[in-house]
Amino acid sequence: MSTRVRPHTAGAAVARTPDDLLRIVRRTLEEDGGLPAGTHVLAACSGGADSVALVHLLARLSAERRWRVSVGHVHHGLRTSADSDATFVAELARRLQLPFFVRRVQGLGGANLEARARAARYAALADMAREAGAQAVATGHTLDDQAETVLLRLVRGTGLTGLSGIRPLRFLAPGITVVRPLLWCRRQALRDFISQEGETWREDETNLDPRYARNRIRARLMPILVAENPRFPEALAHLAEVVREEEAVWAEWVGQTLRRLARPAEGGWTVPLQEFLHLPTGLQRRVLRELAGNFPAVSFVHVEEARRLLRGGQAGQELALPGGARVRRESSSFWVGWPREATSLEPVPLPVPGRAWVPDLGLVVDARVESRGASEPEGRWEAELDERYCKRDLVVRARRPGDRIRLKVGTRKLQDLLVDLRVPRWERDRLPFVATGDGEVLWVVGYRVADAARPAPDAARCLRLRAWPLEAGATLEAGAADGILGEQLPAGLGGSARVSEGQEAIR
């Protein structure tokens, strides 16, 4: 498949004034293709100026574009003003006669609060989009957010992929896409626009907290650079666009190379050594990154250590990389993979209603009781179980020795079923299962539901399970787990919680 690289002309005329906004938003969405006519879009609104402008602009464009627009608000419960924010957004939706949805997030305390809040926010938005019947979630990321993201990555250290910044489109959950209509709009232009509309907005006091790196970039570093070049934010946004398009070409080249050289083996990949060493240096680095899961923690230094091992190491020598991957040199080949058996992982409880975050298996599983008439299971990544299982202790885990599954013909060894389903051997130990706490296997995620666990044909309600990649729940600053090798993994899963370095921070 060839990669079509096209210029993003919205960036040629960045929205700087209120008069530009509608034209630039319209052009951005036309070129990215994120909101075709007839789409139902959930506008994520915190109550801040950017998201309030987003709601107004989508509502204004909805008639000509034949969109249906709803408003979604996530109540994090982290600030004293959170209740007032939710009331403000509800009133905004009422005045614009738009459907309103809200989710309150619980249990966000503890370490890595920013990442946990991002993960919970996007999971809540996916829930609201499903409830609304929306196919897209629109967020209010602006050109200034893009510039701050690129600059923050430069300060922390990044490769070219990291400079691609915030993507205009990304996967959120099955059937739901995140779109960024304001990515070429300046923050001040949006504030001017809503002021002219006679609208107000809420200020998030945490945006001034210098404990957060993004706030320090915005308040301290960016003004110095803008004093040198008043169009510095636009320059960074244009850089991100150029890099993103060129990364698409790189991705195709890396993918072709991997499909030619890499062969699955022992929970990882084996590659002929001499053929790899004859690749250009830049391609070697990218191939190694992709094989190792594209974890952001795998730095330039780690990749160079791996290349030194492959050039001059001895057969049997091994190197550990961040994220759990290992590189092992053999006499005529090398192996990259994860040696730890997933069968040793602890089961993750799955509450009903609620969800299980399973980073070691690379997915989120959601469980809730629903009417069977609400919707049919969507492809392989949804399952319907009998409602009685909502009263059982459920877990998400990997397979265990002796696992069996109940089918119409009786119980079968899970190992035999996986062979019949042609699940590759190297995937079986990392395949997620939903089971009861006492060991009854209910769903081989992506492959098969136990016949004994299905609801009766005349049942009015069921326990509906949904699974999707852990990109929304990653504690890394990352997005969808859709690496180049993902096509060789179960469709819809990204492998062992793999995330790509350049995917944007979920804010």
Residue 500: what pLDDT? 30
Q: Using the predicted structure, report yes or no on whether residue 314 has a pLDDT greater than 60.
A: yes
Evaluate whether residue 56 is within a structural domain: yes
pLDDT band at 469 (very low <50, low <70, confident <90, very high): low
Which of 53-57, 78-82, 203-207, 487-491 has the least mean pLDDT? 487-491
Burial of 129 (0-12, 13-18, 19+ CB in 10 A): buried
**H or E element in which residue 436 lies:** strand 433-436
Q: Using the predicted structure, report yes or no on whether residue 208 has a pLDDT greater than 90.
A: no
User: What integer is the mean pLDDT of 40-44?
Assistant: 97
Q: Using the predicted structure, report yes or no on whether residue 359 has a pLDDT greater than 80.
A: no
The reply to whether 323 and 373 lie within a common domain is: no
Print the domain residue range for 321.
268-337
The reply to whether 171 and 306 lie within a common domain is: no
Q: How many domains does the chain have?
A: 3
Q: Using the predicted structure, report yes or no on whether residue 456 has a pLDDT greater than 70.
A: yes
Query: What tokens were used for 69?
Result: 């627009």
Q: Is the peptide bond before 36 cis (omega within 30 degrees of 0)?
A: no
Evaluate whether residue 507 is within a structural domain: no
Ramachandran bin of 319, using left for φ above 0, alpha for ψ from -120 to 50, beta for the remaining angles: beta
The reply to whether 282 and 382 lie within a common domain is: no
Evaluate whether residue 403 is within a structural domain: yes
Q: Reduced to 3 states, what is the DSSP secondary structure of residue 253? A: helix
The reply to whether 326 and 434 lie within a common domain is: no
Among the ranges 19-28, 265-274, 277-286, 412-421, which has the highest mean pLDDT value?
A: 277-286
The reply to whether 351 and 324 lie within a common domain is: no
Q: Find the CATH number of the domain harbouring 287.
A: 3.30.465.60
Which of 303-317, 362-376, 492-506 has the least mean pLDDT? 492-506
Evaluate whether residue 387 is within a structural domain: yes
User: What's the whole-model pTM score?
Assistant: 0.68
Q: Using the predicted structure, report yes or no on whether residue 234 has a pLDDT greater than 50.
A: yes
**Tens of pLDDT along 153-187?**
999 888 888 899 999 999 888 889 999 999 999 99
Contact indicator for 188, 233 with CB cutoff of 8 Å: no
The reply to whether 122 and 178 lie within a common domain is: yes
Burial of 380 (0-12, 13-18, 19+ CB in 10 A): middle
Evaluate whether residue 41 is within a structural domain: yes
Tokens 């959601």 correspond to 366
Residue 288: what pLDDT? 95
- Angle at which helices 82-95 and 49-65 cross, to 10°: 20
The reply to whether 35 and 171 lie within a common domain is: yes
**H or E element in which residue 354 lies:** strand 354-358
Residue 473: what pLDDT? 32
The reply to whether 30 and 172 lie within a common domain is: yes
Residue 377: what pLDDT? 65
The reply to whether 330 and 350 lie within a common domain is: no
The reply to whether 174 and 304 lie within a common domain is: no
The reply to whether 311 and 401 lie within a common domain is: no
**Tens of pLDDT along 188-198?**
999 999 999 89
